[in-house]
Amino acid sequence: MAPEALFYVFGAVAVIASLAVIGQRNPIYSVLLLIASFGALSGLYVLLDAPFVAVIQIIVYAGAIMVLFLFVVMLLNAPHEDTDYDERVHPLLRPGPMRFGAALAVALLAELGWALTRGETGDFGTASVPSVAAIGRALFTDYAFAFEVTSVLILVAMVGAVVLARRDAPGGR
């Protein structure tokens, strides 16, 4: 019940799910595990007193972007990576990943050790928690230009995606 315990639960789910995402062979399972990871992150946002962001995360990421990924995986239906390497060896255990992964793991552990020696940043203060109305107000006043540009960006992405994924008409464009 304590928010501390919940943080560790959600954090563990997010990390384990993300590890499984990069470790899975079958892309459909990767997508579903990533959805689980997003759910855990949404829980973390609720713990950080950001319910709006939490719900938007579910709506946009888990509910829309991942559906898109799932559709594309189903459309392409290519469940296995075909590489020059031996198919029976798991993707993460092949020589390239092993060497690179070992180097990355050492770097990460060194960084974590360094970060932990920096001293505690302490608990969150009793700073005011912004309400959804405050988010809306700031979005449409201070960040209005970014908002408008984002809407153009989405339009461009929509048109671009449709054009890029279109089959060429028979007999050339």
Burial of 10 (0-12, 13-18, 19+ CB in 10 A): buried
Query: Do 14 and 56 form a contact (C-beta atoms < 8 A)?
Result: no
63's tokens? 């509910």
The letter for the amino acid at 108 is L
3-class state of residue 16 by DSSP: helix
**How far is the C-alpha of 109 from the C-alpha of 167, rounded, in Å?**
47
CB of 88 to other proteins, least distance (A): 15
Residues between 10 and 69 with contacts to other proteins, criterion CB under 8 A? 11, 14-15, 18-19, 21-22, 24, 27-28, 30-32, 34-35, 37-38, 41, 44-45, 47-53, 55-65, 67-69
Please pick, from the candidates 86, 128, 145, 173, the single residue that binds other proteins as defined by CB under 8 A. Answer: 128
Please pick, from the candidates 9, 102, 146, 148, the single residue that binds other proteins as defined by CB under 8 A. Answer: 146
91's tokens? 């993707």
CB of 21 to other proteins, least distance (A): 6
Residues between 85 and 124 with contacts to other proteins, criterion CB under 8 A? 91-92, 96-97, 100-101, 104, 108, 111-112, 115-116, 120-124
Please pick, from the candidates 9, 89, 110, 138, the single residue that binds other proteins as defined by CB under 8 A. Answer: 138
